[in-house]
């Protein structure tokens, strides 16, 4: 077995909520790194995301509106990928979001999303954190231009989900990868012997064909995470789990207008339009803190009412 195969095995053992093509790219990057080929930040950037390196910055502000980026693949914690490429650490993102929520100078939070998803570790915790913050400050996520899988899981937790005109959202699904090399090892005349304790300790190992019990265990884990995913989106979007499973793309991404029609998002708009709407710019654009807070809360309440009316109309049409 080469290093790439070992890395694929290690990465595949965990469930992923990510576009399949993006997972393949991550495996390629990790295997090259293990082989001693050190890709530059720009080379990693080109492989994992269409977003430019210039966009991969820390949170910024537009007046009293804070803009928090959710870019690239998402990992539970900071690692080689997040440090080199600017991909997102769910743990770090949660801390930054919490700080903005407590900041009295921030009247609203916009989550700028351009991500294919990522590993599932920490995603529901982050989604629940954002969902629990509703009502404290207006929180809007903008798919600018992709909120897929784990990124959609997170983005739906905001008060409102906006999709850029050319954007896509969805990919509600979970996958795991298993690769075994018994035939290859036999051809090479290599026999691996595993010595273990624990009935299922060696289940799913790459040196022998996948047993029915091991396959069933992997499938059960994928189903478990998928159930968590769909229940979270149902909670976030205010719909039933059945609607999420059967009517929210069924694992595919959908375009902006279809997303709004299906109830997967609330409106079509750009990041800049969303920021300006939340800022309520008029005249020279200057407002006192009290005016900003009052105006932002009024808009948030109006948006929430509009969202509930839209969902009621969608439910009545089904």
pLDDT in tens, the chain (318 residues): 555 555 555 565 689 999 888 877 776 666 666 566 666 556 655 555 544 334 445 567 788 999 999 998 999 886 555 455 557 899 999 999 999 999 999 999 999 999 999 999 999 999 999 999 999 999 999 999 999 999 999 999 999 999 999 999 999 999 998 878 788 888 888 888 889 889 988 888 878 888 899 899 999 999 999 999 999 999 999 999 999 999 999 999 999 999 999 999 999 999 999 999 999 833 233 343 444 444 444 454 455 545 554 555 555 555
Alpha carbons within 13 angstroms on the beta-carbon side of residue 199 total 3
Residue 145 has a pLDDT of 92
**How many angstroms from the chain centroid is the CA of residue 62?**
24
Residue 290 has a pLDDT of 40
The arrangement of secondary structure in 3-175+219-317, i.e. its CATH architecture, is Alpha-Beta Complex (3.90)
Q: Give me the residue label for tokens 């709407």.
A: 277
Measured distance CA(154)–CA(131) in Å, rounded? 9
* Other Cβ atoms closer than 10 A to 210: 17
Measured distance CA(155)–CA(169) in Å, rounded? 10
Measured distance CA(42)–CA(62) in Å, rounded? 27
> Shortest CA distance to 297 belongs to which of 271, 278, 284?
278
Residue 4 has a pLDDT of 55
Torsion angle of C-alpha atoms 92, 18, 252, 163, degrees rounded to 10: 20
Q: Which two tokens stand for residue 244?
A: 């999420």
Measured distance CA(125)–CA(142) in Å, rounded? 20
What lies within 8 Å, CB to CB, of 57 at 6+ separation is 69
> Shortest CA distance to 31 belongs to which of 73, 81, 82?
81
Q: Which two tokens stand for residue 234?
A: 């149902």
Q: Where are the domains of the chain?
A: 3-175+219-317
Residue 275 has a pLDDT of 96
Q: Give me the residue label for tokens 């969608």.
A: 314
Specify whether the CB–CB gap between 238 and 133 falls below 8 A. no
Measured distance CA(55)–CA(25) in Å, rounded? 20
Measured distance CA(12)–CA(206) in Å, rounded? 11
Residue 40 has a pLDDT of 59
């Amino acid at each position: 077995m080469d290093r790439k195969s070992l890395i694929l095995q290690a990465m595949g053992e965990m469930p992923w909520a990510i576009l399949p093509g993006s997972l393949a790219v991550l495996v390629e990057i990790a295997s090259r790194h293990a082989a001693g080929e050190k890709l530059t930040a720009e080379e990693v950037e080109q492989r994992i995301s269409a977003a430019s390196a210039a966009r991969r910055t820390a949170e910024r502000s537009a007046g009293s509106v804070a803009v928090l980026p959710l870019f690239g693949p998402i990992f539970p914690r900071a690692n080689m990928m997040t440090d080199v490429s600017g991909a997102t650490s769910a743990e770090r993102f949660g801390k930054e979001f919490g700080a903005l929520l407590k900041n009295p100078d921030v009247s609203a939070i916009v989550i700028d999303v351009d991500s294919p998803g990522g590993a599932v570790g920490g995603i529901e915790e982050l989604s629940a954190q954002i969902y629990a913050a509703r009502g404290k400050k207006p929180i809007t996520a903008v798919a600018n231009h992709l909120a897929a899988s784990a990124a959609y899981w997170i983005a739906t937790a905001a008060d409102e989900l906006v999709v850029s005109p050319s954007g896509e959202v969805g990919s509600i699904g979970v996958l795991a990868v298993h690769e075994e090399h018994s035939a290859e090892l036999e051809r090479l005349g290599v026999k691996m012997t595993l010595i273990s304790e624990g009935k299922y300790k060696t289940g799913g190992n790459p040196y022998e064909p996948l047993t029915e019990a091991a396959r069933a265990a992997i499938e059960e884990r994928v189903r478990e995470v998928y159930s968590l995913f769909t229940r979270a989106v149902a909670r976030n979007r205010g719909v039933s789990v059945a609607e999420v499973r059967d009517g929210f793309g069924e694992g595919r991404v959908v375009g902006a207008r279809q997303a709004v029609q299906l109830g997967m998002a609330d409106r079509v708009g750009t990041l800049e339009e969303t920021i300006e709407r939340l800022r309520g710019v008029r005249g020279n654009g200057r407002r006192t803190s009290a005016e900003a807070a009052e105006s932002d809360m009024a808009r948030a309440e109006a948006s929430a009412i509009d969202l509930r009316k839209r969902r009621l109309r969608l439910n009545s049409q089904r």
